[in-house]
Amino acid sequence: MLFIFPDVSSVADYVSDVLINTIKNKPDMVLGAATGGTMEPIYAHFIQQVRQQQVDVSRLVTFNLDEYVGLSAHHPKSYAAYMHQHLFQHLNFNTAKLYLPDGQAQNLEEHCFEYSTRVQHYGGINLQLLGVGGNGHIGFNEPGTSFDSRCHVVQLSEQTRIDNSRFFAENAIVPASAITMGIQDIMDADEVLLVATGISKSAIMAAYYQNDVTEAIPLTILKRHPSAKIILDEAAASLLPDSVRQCAVSLAT
Ligand code: GLP
């Protein structure tokens, strides 16, 4: 299902509405959490609405998609620090139920296996938030990643390191590798919300609709997900062909 909103703020409103409704129906739901610039306004709206509506998030379980290898949870550029800054510290979460891959795990392969297993132990992800990289990566599953993949260590592409260098002081210190939940882990989620905003995502979103499912563009796997919502602002939707735009769900009342 495709949704196109006029701007980032209405995207964030919609996504946090879906999230809050899911939590109200299932207070111990398992949320697949994502990071990146796209998620910042979404978490900000979510925090605001949780407070306004007095939603209890203390029973929520969260699993983050990915983490840089080599960064401790206290490193300011780690995704653990991102989650703390943009979401966790603001609400009454149970910190024992907030999981992220450990970028400093002694045995990374073993850690990845345990991470996927722990997700399954909780019964899988109920709602997976997802952003997309300019090259079509989801989580840190770079082009060419097997659709069968589970949590694993990945070498980041040069493009991804350049894209993400804006969060670091200089490109040289963007880690070369990361842990990511695999594509199969993502596809196992009951529901996926893929969010893309801004003109920099317009080409990859057009590519999503113009290509068949291919490992060369990991994002395309979502065409096979039974309950994936593609949520865009006008800028990210600006290169979509008219035939695709016409299929967008209208939420106008
Ligand atoms: C990063 C993250 C992804 C994220 C994507 C988009 O590399 N690993 O999980 O979805 O890139 O990031 P942004 O929202 O900053 O464009």
- The predicted-structure confidence for 24-36, as pLDDT tens digits, reads as follows 999 999 999 999 9
Atom of ligand 1 nearest to the CA of 140: 8
**In this structure, what token pair is assigned to residue 27?**
């207070």
164 CB near ligand 1 (under 6 Å) = yes
135 is catalytic: yes
102 CB near ligand 1 (under 6 Å) = no
Q: Give 239: exposed, middle or buried? Use CB within 10 Å, 0-12, 13-18, 19+.
A: middle
Q: Does the predicted TM-score (pTM) go above 0.75? A: yes
253: CA distance to ligand 1 center in Å? 32
Task: Indicate the range of 80-89, 91-100, 154-163, 184-193 predicted with least confidence.
Answer: 154-163
Between residues 154 and 252, which one has the greater pLDDT?
Answer: 154
Q: Which of 45, 67, 102, 137 is catalytic?
A: 137
DSSP class per residue in 98-135: EE---TT-SSHHHHHHHHHHHHHHTTS-SEEEE---TT
Q: Residues 199-230: pLDDT tens digits?
A: 999 999 999 999 999 999 999 999 999 999 99
HSE toward the beta carbon, residue 135, CA cutoff 13 A: 19
For 57, 63, 112, 124, the CA distances from 117, given in Å and listed in that order, are 23, 12, 9, 9
Residue 172: per-residue pLDDT: 58
105: CA distance to ligand 1 center in Å? 22
